[in-house]
Amino acid sequence: MATQRTLCIIKPDAVEKRVQGAILQRLLEEGFQILGMRQKRLSRTEAEGFYEVHKERPFFDELCTFMSRGPVVVVALERDDAVAHYRKVIGATNPADADEGTIRKLYGGSVGENAAHGSDSEENGLKEIAYFFAGHELL
């Protein structure tokens, strides 16, 4: 299976709950390599730019307000079949629908505050990594 890259964002709700370490530990146990990692607080403009694809959605304003309310941890990940495997590990967007043991089931509270972001394709994973990391910052 091909090696791929994907972006994880540990969202403000998960950082507030102090579960960043547990989420990173899980990703390491799942065989992901951490190519780059940074804790930062997104400006409103950065959040809007990152989620630009959703700008016409009714939840866009709420999403950007939430994503810029406190620190996040952005993590560039690599693994065989990284995009699909990561999506399986985080679970469904709405924690109420997520399988037991997934990150969103364990740590998410609602569809908006769902603990972790995941890229939805290999192409978007690469774009999203480039949004936060320069090439020379990645292992």
The piece of 23-31, 81-89, 107-115, 123-131 that touches ligand CMP (CB under 6 A) is 107-115
Task: Give least dist CB 1 to ligand CMP, A.
Answer: 23
Is-catalytic flag, 54?
no
Give dist(CA 115, CA 108) in Å, integer: 5
Are 111 and 75 spatial neighbours (Cβ–Cβ below 8 Å)? no
Q: Which residues pair with 40 in a beta bridge?
A: 72
Sole binder of ligand CMP in the list 36, 95, 118, 125 (CB under 6 A): 118
Q: What DSSP element (H or E) covers 72?
A: strand 72-80
Would you count residue 63 as binding ligand CMP (CB under 6 A)? yes
Q: What DSSP element (H or E) covers 33?
A: strand 33-40
The piece of 17-25, 73-81, 112-120, 123-131 that touches ligand CMP (CB under 6 A) is 112-120
Are 16 and 89 spatial neighbours (Cβ–Cβ below 8 Å)? no
Sole binder of ligand CMP in the list 21, 49, 55, 59 (CB under 6 A): 59
Catalytic residue numbers read: 117
Q: Which residues bind ligand CMP (CB under 6 A)?
A: 54, 59, 62-63, 93, 111-112, 114, 117-118
